[in-house]
Amino acid sequence: MGKIDFKCLFSEVILTYSRSSGKGGQNVNKVSTKAELAFDIENSVCLDEEQKKVITEKLCRRINEDGFLKLQSSEARSQLGNKELVLKKFQMLIEKAMHRPAKRISTKIPAQVKEERLTQKRRTAEIKKLRQKNVD
């Protein structure tokens, strides 16, 4: 899997704007500030087949029946602010979906650690033995 070119991805994104609820006062009733992003994963030319498969699997809950990844933002008061926020969300989602955790390499338990554990066990056993009543 290669590195993702976000400039190319951003060119394929469809942004629409609508009126949003929330803060903004009179502005809320007049201006379309809510930014909605739609991205068609299957028809993207910026992603290879493996990347499309991984993104589809990891983000399946956010993809609608038409195959579009949908996001929205209405947190900022301005259209530009919401556009930037929704593009940032989109980039973070794609990066998180493509992230592969490093494989853990199991290592051998050092002899000193094994010896310390056995010594501690012997010490504990000895303490418990001394607690017992001597019945001879």
Mean pLDDT score across all residues of the chain: 86
Q: pLDDT at position 116, please?
A: 97
In this predicted structure, the answer to whether residue 125 has a pLDDT above a threshold of 90 is: yes
User: Nearest CA to 64 among 31, 41, 90?
Assistant: 41
Q: Cβ(93)–Cβ(59) under 8 Å?
A: yes
Domains of the chain by start residue, with CATH? 6-98 (3.30.160.20)
| pLDDT band at residue 78 using 50, 70 and 90 as cut-offs | confident
Encoded tokens for 133: 């009543």
Q: Cβ(32)–Cβ(18) under 8 Å?
A: yes
Encoded tokens for 66: 């038409």
The pLDDT tens digits for 11-56 are: 888 888 888 776 666 666 677 888 899 998 888 888 888 888 888 8
Predicted TM-score of the model (pTM): 0.67
- What per-residue string of b and e applies to 12-30 under the rule 16 or more CB within 10 Å gives b? ebeeeeeebeeebeeebee
Residue with tokens 């579009």: 68
User: How far, in Å, CA of 36 to CA of 32, rounded?
Assistant: 11
